[in-house]
């Protein structure tokens, strides 16, 4: 719950503390908080939704399908991250910081800066947790994907598939021309991952911790 606002706060702190002068750099850090930090917290939060429910036996014995409950929790988790991100983006637009990053893609379409990676990492976290039933493993996968793209940004964008799946195309994109294609690819990936999670959750009602069949 604290993740997304904390991520934004960290981004703002980093922007304030930035040793490099220049509006563009500061603006890039601020947008980076939306494109990097918020999606990471949302992804890890989604990964922790499955496999750690203390009342799972009660959940599985009630007429409301557990899958429905989990999807509702996913919507709340992603919705909260979206709310925090949207408010932050609004503040950045109002204060003019949004415009100071040259590749901002406008106040409307530019929102895909955080929408696409948040949904992609959220979907990845949920699908991985549904498959492994281990929040730790799913969280580690999300963090690893994020970190690899973060620390090996160049290598990750060397080929077209890598560029299309790159999470941070607004603030660290190697090919600004491919931005729209990149965002759409991420959204499609997110949709595929969420669908996968829904399917897996529907089949596996064996979510009891000790129930390791």
Partner 1 sequence: MTIEITALTKTYRGGVAALDGLDLTVPTGMFGLLGANGAGKTTLMRILAGIVRPTAGRVTVGGHDLATGAGRHAVQQSLGYLPQDLGVYPDLTARQFLDYVALLKGMDDPAVRRRRVGELLEVVALTAQAGRRLRGFSGGMRQRVGIAQALLADPQLLIVDEPTAGLDPEERIRFRTLLSQFAGDRTVVLSTHIVEDIAQTCREVAVLAQGRLAFRGTVDDLTQRAAGQVWSLVTSGPPPSEGTVVSALPHEGGMRYRIVAPTAPGAEATPVDPGLEDGYLAVTVPDERRPVGR
| Residues making contact with ligand ATP (CB under 6 A) | 210-212
Closer CB to ligand ATP, 72 or 209, in the complex: 209
Q: Under rule CB under 8 A, which residues in 66-105 are in contact with partner 1?
A: 69
Q: Which stretch binds partner 1 (CB under 8 A): 2-10, 85-93, 143-151, 204-212?
A: 204-212
Closer CB to partner 1, 23 or 68, in the complex: 68
Distance, CA of 60 to CA of 157 (rounded, Å): 43
**Helical pair 66-95 and 179-203, crossing angle rounded to 10 deg:** 160
- Regarding 61 and contact with partner 1 (CB under 8 A), the answer is yes
Closer CB to partner 1, 19 or 54, in the complex: 54
In sequence order, which residues have a C-beta less than 8 Å from that of residue 213 and are 6 or more positions away? 206
* Cβ–Cβ under 8 Å, residues 48 and 135: yes
Q: Which stretch binds partner 1 (CB under 8 A): 15-23, 52-60, 109-117, 149-157?
A: 52-60
DSSP calls for 31-45: HHIIIIIHHHHHHHH
- Token reading at 35: 């494109």
Residue from 53, 100, 129, 172 binding partner 1 (CB under 8 A): 53
**Diameter over CA atoms, the chain:** 59
Say which residue the tokens 């195309």 belong to.
169
Q: Cβ of residue 45: shortest distance to partner 1, in angstroms? A: 16
Q: Which stretch binds partner 1 (CB under 8 A): 20-28, 36-44, 169-177, 203-211?
A: 203-211
DSSP calls for 174-192: S-GGGHHHHHHHHHHHHHH
Q: Cβ of residue 207: shortest distance to partner 1, in angstroms? A: 9
- Regarding 56 and contact with partner 1 (CB under 8 A), the answer is yes
Closer CB to ligand ATP, 64 or 210, in the complex: 210
* Cβ–Cβ under 8 Å, residues 122 and 46: yes
Q: Which stretch binds partner 1 (CB under 8 A): 53-61, 84-92, 120-128, 176-184?
A: 53-61
* Cβ–Cβ under 8 Å, residues 73 and 119: no
Residues engaged in binding partner 1 (CB under 8 A): 53-64, 69, 205-206, 208, 211-213
């Amino acid at each position: 719950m604290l993740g997304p606002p904390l991520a934004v706060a960290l981004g703002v702190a980093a922007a304030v503390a930035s040793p490099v002068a220049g509006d563009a750099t500061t603006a890039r850090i601020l947008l980076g908080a939306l494109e990097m930090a918020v999606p990471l917290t949302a992804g890890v939060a989604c990964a922790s939704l499955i496999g750690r429910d203390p009342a799972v036996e009660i959940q599985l014995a009630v007429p409301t399908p557990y899958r429905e409950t989990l999807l509702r929790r996913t919507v709340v988790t992603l919705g909260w991250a979206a709310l925090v991100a949207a408010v932050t983006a609004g503040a950045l637009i109002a204060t003019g910081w949004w415009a100071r990053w040259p590749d901002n893609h406008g106040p409307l379409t530019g929102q895909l800066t955080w929408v696409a990676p948040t949904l992609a990492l959220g979907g990845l976290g949920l699908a991985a947790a549904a498959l492994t039933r281990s929040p730790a493993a799913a969280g580690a996968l999300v963090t690893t994907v994020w970190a690899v793209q973060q620390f090996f940004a160049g290598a990750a964008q060397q080929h077209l598939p890598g560029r299309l799946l790159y999470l941070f195309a607004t603030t660290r994109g190697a090919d600004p021309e491919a931005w729209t294609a990149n965002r759409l690819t991420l959204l499609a990936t997110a949709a595929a991952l969420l669908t996968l999670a829904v399917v897996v959750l529907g089949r596996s009602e064996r979510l009891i911790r000790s129930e390791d069949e």
